[in-house]
Chain A
Amino acid sequence: MSGNKHQNKDTSSLQSVVSDWSADKQSFDMPWGKLMMWIFLLSDTFVFSIFLTSYMNVRMSTTAVWPSSSEVFALTIAGHHIPLVLIAIMTFILITSSGTMAMAVNYAYQGNKQKTVYLMMATALLGASFIGMQAFEWTKLIVEEGIRPWGNPLGANQFGAAFFMITGFHGLHVSAGVIYLLVIAKRVHQGKYQKKGYQIVEITGLYWHFVDLVWVFIFAFFYLW
């Protein structure tokens, strides 16, 4: 646009933002892989949003009773009936894992290979324990309460269907994240990024934080509503 650019000497700030952003080479000052991860996460955001929107829709469309979350998700520990206790622990663990991940990224950029690997392993361990507890929760719902995707003695069928589908899909994301973390931690340990730089740790971290963030929404919509 050779012509137009010089016509407006009095460029407004919005225009200069646009022309800065559309300048040559890289539109975003970040490695290719990192931008690609951001765009993927944007797409994945749509996947989860649509899952949750569909869940809200069927929760409204069904005529059967929706089970009370403080009853279904309660545990009886030492004779006490405590609502939402397991899920509180799971959420705490997952958010803690975001903290260890952030520390791993920090140490990676400092070039501290050993601490990076340890913290990534810790993150993976926390993630794995989250999945373990989720398996426990599923078992309880299936075996003790008799809830199935196609049936629910406590009320609406859609409760089981939406719950297993959405937490299952999230659980697959966490599992994939644990594998991803372990693979990258191994490669960091082998020194494969010493020359290339450690952006890959941050990219892994982006994915991990995203999975945590999604969990916060699932937690809010499933357990608190």
Chain B
Amino acid sequence: MSKFANIAIADQVDESKHPHSFMTKYIWSQDHKVIAIQYSITAIAVGLVALVLSGMMRLQLGFPNEFSFIDPSAYLQFVTMHGMIMVIYLLTALLLGGFGNYLIPLMVGARDMVFPFLNMLSYWTYFLAVLVLLASFFVSGGPTGAGWTLYPPQAILSGTPGEHAGILLMLASLAIFIVAFTMGGLNYVTTILQARTKGMTLMRMPLTIWGIFVATILGLLAFPALLVSAIMMIFDKVIGTSFFMPAILSLGETLDHSGGSPILFQHLFWFFGHPEVYIVALPAFGMVSDVIAVHARKNIFGYRMMVWAIVAIGGLSFVVWAHHMYVSGMNPYFGFFFATTTLIIAIPTALKVYNWLLTLWRGNIHLTIPMLFAIGFIFTFTHGGLTGLMLGNVVIDLPLSDTYFVVAHFHMVMGVSPVMVLFAAIYHWFPLLTGRFLNNALGKFHFWGTFLGTYAIYLPMHYLGFLGVPRRYYAMGTTDFIPESAQSLNASITVSAIIVGLVQLIFIFNLIWSTFKGKKSGRNPWQATSLEWQTAHFPPGHGNWGEQLPNVYRWAYDFSVPRAKDDFIPQNVTPEDVAYLDTEESNKGREPS
């Protein structure tokens, strides 16, 4: 450990204070870029576990009774762990811990996060949370099978897989994750508010930073609900309190609990759970905006509105949670209120979709891999969003609740869509990390495999939902109202899912191969304007900016400025240094060709 552990890096100009040993550079690193990569690798690794779990669920659903190692308990455990890992340990950690850590200081022009030591602690606490979570695979009884929503009373009663150690490890792991997230999140918010470089006003920040900023605030205010409900459920399980447990007759025996409120857990869970959707979506919105602007060589349409839309979505996300609970038996007037707020949230969201399209409109679109994924995102997100509007209405939700229609909806809107943006972002920013491109041919294959494959998975699921096929069932058996054709549809979904899973292995191979053998990219290969591409060294070194912090003179979207010589003007170029064409030449440029 270095002796200046708690001195912010912004105050360290002395060259001797850079870390030199392998341990301080790559393991106990306080450099936000290394921490970001640690976060990303851990998140992707645990995400692959969740991907395998979903593959096994699909095997069971597509070909019931063919695979003896998947019994009903194991199936429920796969469902639970797949959901929890994907939402929290992959998406939240990768978007905020990974991309947030990497991009915030670089994009706002800081040398590092404001408290690097706390940042390092955040990663290692997250790592501990992952270990605790994965440990539940190896305890007796296995991981919990309560579903990712962990609804009591069933989550902690006998009959649910992993009712002893599994559920406790899950709750403990969530609590540890929240501590880790709080340490990181405080850093992100403070860095964005206080450590921006000269000239970087809030309204000049790239939308990526706005998305991460608002998402982090949502996290800091929403995770407490999960923390508190985890604590109370641990008490219910371990010392026999009755917060969530009403009087219950289980397996012919009266339990010791009485007087608790299971609905309270649902409210607390969704008070966390709904903002969580936007904790994942808002950074994705921000990053996709930047990718689209750069690769369409055009300023983002309606920047100011995009910012206010992010803020409005963030605020509204706290007053829509009970639309997950229409069938819980709460007061119908609540349903009316929450349906209204849910439909209102569609306004700023639709505004963002229109603005992405209008950014593309008459832009100079380069169909690079990041751009392909970004356009793919607009498709998948629009689909998922529209089914969200349907489910937001109480009368439509009641018959569709707990069917595959819901599964299809939320996978389109917060599974596939953020993942499409993550891929776009990884292909876009990979040269910044390594100085090399990801392989283009493999990338195209990856995109089309993922994009078409996910449609082959999720479009039929909407149809299954309309048929009334319930979610979380181990096998359909012979149910009268479900036609036999549903089974062949399920088989085809499984085949598509396996293919999509295999395509991701190509992506992993591409990541590893291109890190060492990829084509050299050179500085600022996409000709982007934002600060992270304008560092003194490329790829950026420790401290990011060398001798002097950059000064910012413009917003992040000066693409194709009329009369300017280049089609992009980086944020740190002074107005005097902008090269303009003389009038004659510029007129020539405007002649119709």
A-side residues, CB < 8 A to B, are 1-2, 4, 19, 21-28, 32-33, 35-36, 39-40, 42-44, 46-47, 50-51, 54, 57-58, 61-64, 149-150, 156-158, 160-162, 165, 169
* 19 residue pairs A–B, Cβ–Cβ below 8 Å: A1-B304, A36-B187, A39-B186, A43-B220, A43-B224, A54-B229, A57-B264, A58-B243, A58-B259, A61-B264, A149-B240, A150-B239, A150-B241, A157-B242, A157-B258, A158-B242, A158-B243, A162-B243, A165-B241
With A36-B115, A51-B228, A157-B242 as contacts: A61 and B193 at CB distance below 8 Å? no
> In whole angstroms, how far apart are the Cα atoms of A26 and B200 in the complex?
10
Residue pair A54, B204 in contact (C-beta under 8 Å): no
The residue that A165 contacts in the complex, of B182, B193, B231, B256, with Cβ under 8 A, is B231
> In whole angstroms, how far apart are the Cα atoms of A4 and B304 in the complex?
9
Residue pair B190, A32 in contact (C-beta under 8 Å): yes
Task: Determine the main DSSP class of A at the interface with B.
Answer: helix
With A27-B193, A165-B235 as contacts: A36 and B186 at CB distance below 8 Å? yes
> In whole angstroms, how far apart are the Cα atoms of A61 and B231 in the complex?
19
Residue pair A46, B194 in contact (C-beta under 8 Å): no
> In whole angstroms, how far apart are the Cα atoms of A42 and B218 in the complex?
12
> In whole angstroms, how far apart are the Cα atoms of A168 and B117 in the complex?
29
Q: How many positions in chain B have a CB within 8 Å of any CB in the partner chain?
A: 50
- A40 neighbours in B (Cβ, 8 Å): 182, 186
Residue pair B303, A1 in contact (C-beta under 8 Å): yes
- A62 neighbours in B (Cβ, 8 Å): 242, 258-260
Residue of A nearest to B245 (CB): A157
Residue pair A32, B258 in contact (C-beta under 8 Å): no
The residue that A157 contacts in the complex, of B186, B221, B241, B554, with Cβ under 8 A, is B241
- B368 neighbours in A (Cβ, 8 Å): none
Residue pair B221, A35 in contact (C-beta under 8 Å): no
Residue pair A161, B243 in contact (C-beta under 8 Å): yes
Residue pair A36, B114 in contact (C-beta under 8 Å): yes
Residue pair A50, B268 in contact (C-beta under 8 Å): yes
Residue pair A47, B201 in contact (C-beta under 8 Å): no
Judge whether B199 is part of the interface by a CB distance below 8 angstroms.
yes
- A64 neighbours in B (Cβ, 8 Å): 258-259
18 additional contacts, CB 8 Å, given A54-B268, A158-B241, A160-B241?
Answer: A1-B555, A19-B203, A26-B196, A32-B8, A32-B114, A33-B115, A35-B193, A36-B186, A43-B220, A46-B225, A50-B224, A58-B242, A58-B259, A61-B261, A62-B258, A149-B235, A157-B259, A165-B232
**Of listed A19, A156, A158, residue having the most chain B CB within 10 A:** A158
- A36 neighbours in B (Cβ, 8 Å): 114-115, 186-187, 189-190
Residue pair B243, A54 in contact (C-beta under 8 Å): yes
- A2 neighbours in B (Cβ, 8 Å): 554-555
- B242 neighbours in A (Cβ, 8 Å): 58, 62, 150, 157-158, 161
- A156 neighbours in B (Cβ, 8 Å): 259
The residue that B241 contacts in the complex, of A24, A42, A57, A161, with Cβ under 8 A, is A161
Judge whether B227 is part of the interface by a CB distance below 8 angstroms.
yes
With A150-B241, A157-B241 as contacts: A43 and B221 at CB distance below 8 Å? yes
> In whole angstroms, how far apart are the Cα atoms of A47 and B555 in the complex?
37
The residue that A58 contacts in the complex, of B186, B204, B240, B264, with Cβ under 8 A, is B264
Residue pair B194, A28 in contact (C-beta under 8 Å): yes
Interface 1/0 per residue, B451-483 and A, CB below 8 Å: 000000000000000000000000000000000
- B229 neighbours in A (Cβ, 8 Å): 54
Judge whether B202 is part of the interface by a CB distance below 8 angstroms.
yes
**Of listed A47, A54, A63, residue having the most chain B CB within 10 A:** A54
**Of listed A2, A36, A156, residue having the most chain B CB within 10 A:** A36
- B202 neighbours in A (Cβ, 8 Å): 21-22, 27
Residue of B nearest to A157 (CB): B242
- B258 neighbours in A (Cβ, 8 Å): 62-64, 157
Judge whether B322 is part of the interface by a CB distance below 8 angstroms.
no
Judge whether B374 is part of the interface by a CB distance below 8 angstroms.
no
> In whole angstroms, how far apart are the Cα atoms of A162 and B235 in the complex?
10
Residue pair A32, B259 in contact (C-beta under 8 Å): no
Interface 1/0 per residue, B176-207 and A, CB below 8 Å: 00000010001101100111111111111000
Residue of A nearest to B236 (CB): A161
Nearest-Cβ distance from residue A33 to partner chain B, whole angstroms: 8
> In whole angstroms, how far apart are the Cα atoms of A2 and B166 in the complex?
55
- B239 neighbours in A (Cβ, 8 Å): 149-150
